[in-house]
Amino acid sequence: MKRRDEPAIDGEGALVTVTTMFFRIVLLLMAAVPMWGQVEEGELAAGKALYAANCLICHQLNGQGTPGAFPPLAKSDFLVKDLERSIKAVCEGLSGEIVVNGRRYNNSMPPALLNDDQVASVMTYVLNSWGNGGGRVTREQVEEARRETQYPTFRALEEANRYEPLPKAAEGMKIRELARPSVHFTRLAGKKGGGDLYGLALNGDVFAIDRTNGSSRQVLWGRNYINKKLGEPFCAGLCFDSKNRMYVTVNQRNESGTLVTNEVTIFRSTTEEEGEAKEPRSWYRVAYPHGIGGFNHGVHQIAEGPDGMIYVTSGSRTDGNEEGNDPRYWKGGEHELTACIWRFDPAAEVPRLEIYARGLRNAFGFCWNDAGEMFATENGPDANAPEELNRIEKGKHYGFPYQFADWNQKAYPYTPDAPKGLEFTRPIRNLGPDGGRGKPISTFDPHSSPAGIVWLGKSFRGEYGESFLVVRFGQLVETAGDVGFDLLRIRMKEGGDAEVKVLLRPLARPLDLNVADGKIFLLEYTRSVTGKGSMGFPGRILEISF
């Protein structure tokens, strides 16, 4: 007989000892290596960056989608029911009616220009965000799903999404490709004295682009001046004032409180280094209730006016003043800081916000003519109302959310009655021949998404002088057809109406314009010239001269 403290030396005892040691080793390895299916923070960060560049514009920062147009990814039963179909949708796009969380959607989704690893990364991020159930998508899953699509390899998808040929130039116009940015730019800007062109990326990075040869260099890094604890940044405003100080507008979705808020910060550079603006610091900061659904348009363009003041557009937080049904979002419709234009005195170290004009749903771009009159483009609602060009005057109200374009009827059953005594300033009428179906129209085709606008003064020769140029980003709603994707020339007529003519079409999601040294610089956000193309790869900057 063996004592209890003697080691087992027979076959059975040896087997027990080896088995115990094996399981101990396995447990140690499991503690050192993440469990299969457990996703590390670094993986999610990579997927989040890809989501912001490729999916955010339709499905929104919080995955809520756009009601009636783009389905939610947050708590999506579509993802759970058929993950393979969701992967295929990213690889080749998706069209036709689908049902997500009990609601029908009938729009088109373009393919994302992402390789197999990137698709796996962004899908893993989506599965682990916004209340979805978690999990991991592997490269092998993506490869297998992609083989059954119309683009069986990523290379085939790339070939189908090359840069389009330059559009045919109008008479007396020259056009050339200046640069192919490596990231998606949201805004172009330049200094008052000329020199380089500047591009702003979604994350707050700023690049200087040589206007002669298109070479670029990065001059600011968003991570160095934006506080990511307030939420992922969405940056869409960039300008320089008369002292060549740089301004950047930043929106961040803050979920840390009882209600989700939109944190708005206007940064202004404080020093210069070798002629470049450096060390941006918070110049003005404010928070208001974050938009519901996909309608947090946020703060966009910023520019110095002829009066030396700084102007900023603040878009709506709703489609048409609806309350929403999520308890984490404010149900008060529009806020006093939304759907308006702000004004600041740049001489103030602690600036005071002044509301310059109200009733503007989403005025993405604005500029001034030689007479100092301000004009702004405005994006309309999901309802098929024409989109607008407005002459902006201090203290005026431009209708939203009570009235859209030239409509005399309410856009929705819940559209509120206008306050008694409130007068609206109507949009500019488009007399044609282009830019609007049916004449006259106030002002552009529904869903054509008018964006950047610039004024060409008397120094521009012939028919191009003393006129506005406007780019239209193009529709995001399939039922609208391929409206937009163009550059328009707008001449004001006596009585306040406008003559509108297409100068360039098709363009790849044109978003902004900049004028310097007698030339126009046009920003294409991506490469597709139709609503069915991908927004995955960055577009280019075109130079137009006469």
Average pLDDT over residues 505-509: 96
**pLDDT range class, residue 189, cuts 50, 70, 90:** very high
The set of residues, in sequence order, having a beta carbon less than 8 Å from that of 421 and lying 6+ positions away, is none
Average pLDDT over residues 179-207: 93
**pLDDT range class, residue 23, cuts 50, 70, 90:** very low
* pLDDT above 90 for 21: no
The number of beta carbons lying within 10 Å of the beta carbon of residue 386 is 24
> CA neighbours within 13 Å on the CB side: how many for 341?
31
Average pLDDT over residues 503-532: 94
pTM given for the model: 0.78
State the Cα–Cα distance between residues 402 and 425, nearest whole angstrom.
Answer: 12
Average pLDDT over residues 136-155: 92
Residue 27 · residue 35 · CB < 8 Å = no
Chain CA centroid to CA 3, Å? 76
The pair of structure tokens assigned to 311 is 């102007």
Q: What value does the CA radius of gyration of the chain take, rounded to a whole number of Å?
A: 26
* pLDDT above 80 for 419: yes
State the Cα–Cα distance between residues 86 and 78, nearest whole angstrom.
Answer: 8
DSSP 301-351: EEEE-TTS-EEEEE--SSSSS---S-TTS--SSS-TTSSEEEEE-TT-SS-
Average pLDDT over residues 294-314: 96
Residue 456 · residue 517 · CB < 8 Å = no
The per-residue pLDDT for 128 is 93
The per-residue pLDDT for 62 is 84
pLDDT digits (tens, 9 = 90+) for 340-398: 999 999 999 899 999 999 999 999 999 999 999 999 999 999 999 999 999 999 999 99
The per-residue pLDDT for 68 is 67
Helix (H, G, I), strand (E, B) or coil at 277: strand
The per-residue pLDDT for 127 is 92
The pair of structure tokens assigned to 219 is 């001059």
> Does residue 110 or residue 489 have the better pLDDT?
489
The per-residue pLDDT for 182 is 84
Residue 237 · residue 248 · CB < 8 Å = yes
The per-residue pLDDT for 52 is 85
State the Cα–Cα distance between residues 543 and 368, nearest whole angstrom.
Answer: 21
**pLDDT range class, residue 426, cuts 50, 70, 90:** very high
Chain CA centroid to CA 381, Å? 16
**pLDDT range class, residue 38, cuts 50, 70, 90:** low
Least Cα distance to 327 among 260, 235, 242, 374 occurs for 260
**pLDDT range class, residue 321, cuts 50, 70, 90:** very high
Sign of the dihedral defined by the CA atoms of residues 246, 247, 250, 256, in that order: positive
| Cα distances (angstroms) measured from residue 453 to each of 116, 235, 242, 485 | 38, 18, 20, 14
Spell out the SS3 assignment of 226-249: CCHHHCCEEEEEEEECCCCCEEEE
Q: In what order do the strands lie in the sheet with 233-240?
A: 233-240, 246-254, 261-273, 276-289
pLDDT digits (tens, 9 = 90+) for 269-281: 999 998 899 999 9
pLDDT digits (tens, 9 = 90+) for 208-260: 999 999 999 999 999 999 998 999 899 999 999 999 999 999 999 999 999 99
**pLDDT range class, residue 20, cuts 50, 70, 90:** very low
Tell me how far apart the terminal alpha carbons of the chain are, to the nearest angstrom.
Answer: 106
As to burial, measured by CB atoms within 10 angstroms (0-12 exposed, 13-18 middle, 19+ buried), residue 383 is middle
Average pLDDT over residues 42-59: 86
pLDDT digits (tens, 9 = 90+) for 61-91: 888 887 767 889 999 998 878 899 999 999 9
Chain CA centroid to CA 382, Å? 17
The mean of the pLDDT values for the chain is 89
The number of beta carbons lying within 10 Å of the beta carbon of residue 52 is 19
